[in-house]
Structure 1
């Protein structure tokens, strides 16, 4: 069963398909986001707020979130711990 993680404003992604969660501040990440927007391979889940995290998915899609990378990471790790408790 896929693990889903809440990334803000009612948006959810498949945690099993996440490669990395990075800050959008670095120039290479900004270029990567701009290219993904131009190619239509980005999903803006910020609801008009400032992008604070870029989630890179296995299929090359970028998901933009208004949550900090640390917040998403904590949600991922707490999700992992709770699934371990269930076994």
Structure 2
């Protein structure tokens, strides 16, 4: 079960499928977020909280997270 990571509120991702973890502050990431909405590839795991990070998966899905990018990276790569 080491390859499944809890990213908050009992939501899980498969560690090997995550290609990037991005902060939402840049305009490029905001455009990526909009593209995901247009293509139907968004998975919103914020549960009403402010989006702080986007996870990009190898399937092209964009996961919105309320956790900051640094915290997600810690969860993905802790041993």
TM-score tier, shorter chain, comes to over 0.9
Q: Report the TM-score, using the length of structure 1 for normalisation.
A: 0.85
Structure 1 residue runs without a partner (length 5+): 82-87
Cα deviation code 1:42-87 (max 9, x no counterpart): 1000001100110000011100000011001111121xx2xxxxxx
Structure 1 runs, 4 residues or longer, greater than 4 Å off: none
Backbone CA RMSD of aligned residues:
1.3
Q: Report the TM-score, using the length of structure 2 for normalisation.
A: 0.93
Structure showing the higher helix proportion among its residues? 1
Structure 2 residue runs without a partner (length 5+): none
1:54 and 2:54 aligned: yes
